[in-house]
Amino acid sequence: LAQTFEASPPDVFDRLIRLNYLGAVHVTKVLLPAMLSPLGMGVKKERNASQRRIAFVSSLASLVPIYGFSAYAAAKSAITTFADILQQELEDVGPAVTIIFPPDTDTPGLQAENVGKPATTRAISEAGGLESPAAVAASAMHDVLLGRQRSLLGATGRALSWATAGVSRAQQDCPLPLPPPFVAVIEILLAPIFKVALFGFAYWCRACILWHSRKGRQQGQ
């Protein structure tokens, strides 16, 4: 999953798009009509469609560019955009749509990914920390049941989501139970700080790339 674009075979891009984006699209296309029906999904008791939930698993890598993730992050970004639009279309009729942005999680999948991962990618990714599967699952389930649009674990993930929110309404994951207008004001006040932080992150990433590039050239001599 973690390779430079030059080192990535073309089929990797096709496979990740099919697995992540198109897989989510096709499953949603099949299940959504039943989820919109009051008696859909085999539910005996009539239930409002807004009580049902759709969850998509994206990644923090879809929010910011990270060296070595040209295939993986692009596929996850497609999920994020698709889910954002689906949420707009279903907001008045249900079900609620949640996008989950898990951080690096201590799983066999991550261990396999780390084999052959570029040193630059590893350095940037590890700066975001490592979470346990139980913590990630509990956070995601909590946010899905609440019908939140985005699910992020920890202060770093939440700040990254707020800083890169783009065209959106007030974030729902504010740690304080405040009305949306108050949350919007907080976001506006924090926007300059987030922008400075993003500048710092971008320059730090650039420094990591240059340092590892020089180190690689020196080792190759």
- Catalytic-residue membership of 44: no
- Catalytic-residue membership of 37: no
- Catalytic-residue membership of 151: no
Angle made by CA atoms 4, 205, 15, in degrees to the nearest 5: 30
141 vs 130: CA distance, rounded Å: 19
Per-residue tokens: 220: 């190759």
Selected catalytic residue, list 70, 76, 151, 161: 76
CA proximity to 120, closest of 212, 22, 5, 196: 212
Selected catalytic residue, list 62, 67, 70, 72: 72
CA quadruple 127, 193, 139, 171: dihedral sign: negative
Neighbours of 178 (CB within 10 A): 13
Is residue 8 within 8 A of residue 70, CB to CB? The reply is yes
Selected catalytic residue, list 58, 62, 125, 139: 58
Residues identified as active-site? 58, 72, 76
